[in-house]
Chain A
Amino acid sequence: MNNIALGRYLPLDSIVHKMDPRYKLVAMLVLMVAIFFPSGYIGYAIIGSFVLFSLLLAKLNIKMILRAMKPMLFMLVFLTFVNTLVLRTGYVLIDLFGFKVYSDAIFQTLYITIRLLLMIMVTTILTASTKPLDLTLAIEDLFSPLKRFGFPAHEIAMMISIALRFIPTLIDETNRIMKAQASRGVDLKEGTFKEKIMAILSLIVPLFVSSFQRAEELADAMEARGYIPSAKRTRYKQLKHTMKDWVMMFCVICVLGSVIWISL
């Protein structure tokens, strides 16, 4: 439970951490679009080198990214399996007693692996270098032009930030209840099917009960302090963009441009 590397903020002191979250968010979206362009290995080399460079700038560890990849491992194995069965183009790479593995199957899998790796890297850089609350501020800001058409930008940002705020709390709570039930003889690893169902139930029911209770308390506390979603409010934290944000934006757009140019 404590080893969730994906999507966790790491309080480091780097230039990427200090960038404007709005720009970072847009840059991530642009890079995502670039990753999805069929630009071949050259395109991925360009994106990859840019992403690696930002990773270093953000003072993040490559090991951490690889850890984040771990849950994907099963998917990749499955993908390799299906690909070797289905894809029958290119030249024969391995011939196992008449069962032929074609080159395209391997390359296709490799290609998707790189794509996944790049996507995870990009999102990890964003989430590891940006506080969740700054991220929601950025979302609110980016959506604020839509307010004119009745789009509830603030409400959505508030909901997201509350949800994010309670993820660690819920993880703690889950750990606590798991331990408490383990003390009552619950064993999530062993046991018959019926026992396992019971074990999961003994975890989920208390979790739901306390979540609902917490939600109610939070709502009461907000109301007691006069929270009105539609009220006009000022912010303590003002988002400011500087030169480095523009430089980053320019680089990202260059990356997208070259990727588009390659795939044409």
Chain B
Amino acid sequence: MPIAFEKVNYIYAPKTPFQYEALKCIDLAIELNKITAIIGPTGSGKSTLVQHLNALLVPTDGTVYILDRELSSNQKNKDLKSLRQRVGLVFQFPEYQLFEETILKDVMFGPLNFKMTEEDARQKSMTALTMVGLDESFYERSPLDISGGQKRRVAIAGILAINPDVLVLDEPTAGLDPQGAKSMMELFVELNRKYKKTILIVTHDMDHVLNYCDNVVVMKKGEVITHQQVNDFFFKGDTVKEIEMALPQRLRVVESLREKGFKLDSKISNLKDLANAIKKEISHE
């Protein structure tokens, strides 16, 4: 099993009055070469979960299997650096981690830490910056002087330049404008399709889940409630209604059209089918 959680518990500040059980007996297997969304209300343990993937946190109980590594609390977890090179983690609001004098140097910081040569690191960093849509004119500017959205791109490029096999992103689009968010999500899809990267995205945006992801993991109060394919999740069964999160816009449109008397199948998954169905309804009248 390439990425799997087995009976993983995680407790913050154990044996103190501040003890907090963030993950409760998580059993989860994540498919490689897919885009998996992790959703759930705030405080449900999403961020704690993803920090296990590159061993920033080690489970209090249980085992995490990732690529060819095995992480648990009752063994010495050595050489985490090589794992971190293969699993890139982009934190929430990563723009706060920028510190170098120039953008190019900041992006090169990661690759150089992982012992790439200067030339190689520069090449990879330029590629990564191009991917996130920042051209040469940015290379020599200070990462602290650009806009918030651009900072976000630089920070993500900083992880992309390391060229990890698994890319984990904690709310990468939070606070971005819709256009910026869209191009960011499209970049992740491209990374997945073209470079066969495994991608995990923590998100609150159900539209992104529906439009860009393959699988979805729903968390609540430190537990995994369900783990399904995105299409099954939205169009089969009722789990999507039980989790009390806002539906994607497309589904809300269908929902309100049905309320107004349109005879539409609530399980229409394809935009084209939906358009056709609406057209049919209108021409009937």
Contacts and interface: CB of A to CB of B under 8 A. Distances in A.
B188 to A, nearest CB: 17
Nearest to B91: A180
A153 interface: no
A183 B88 contact: yes
B96 A185 contact: no
Contacts of B96: 173, 176-177, 180, 206, 209-210
Interface size on A, as a range, is 20 to 34
Interface of B: 12-13, 17, 51, 54, 56, 81, 84-85, 88-91, 94, 96-99, 109-110, 113-114, 144, 158-159, 162
A185 B162 contact: yes
A201 B158 CA distance: 17
Of A180, A181, A195, A210, the most chain B CB neighbours within 10 A belong to A180
A182 B56 contact: yes
A185 B17 contact: no
A203 to B, nearest CB: 8
Nearest to A180: B97
B85 A181 contact: no
A181 B162 CA distance: 13
Given A180-B97, A185-B110, A10 B56 contact: no
A124 to B, nearest CB: 15
Contacts of A12: 17
B113 A11 contact: no
Interface string A1-36: 010000000111000000000000000000000000
A176 B48 CA distance: 12
A217 interface: no
B17 A182 contact: no
10 contacts: A11-B17, A12-B17, A177-B96, A183-B84, A183-B90, A183-B159, A185-B85, A185-B113, A186-B113, A202-B109
A2 B20 CA distance: 13
Given A184-B109, A184-B110, A179 B85 contact: no
Given A179-B56, A184-B162, A209-B144, A202 B88 contact: no
A245 to B, nearest CB: 25
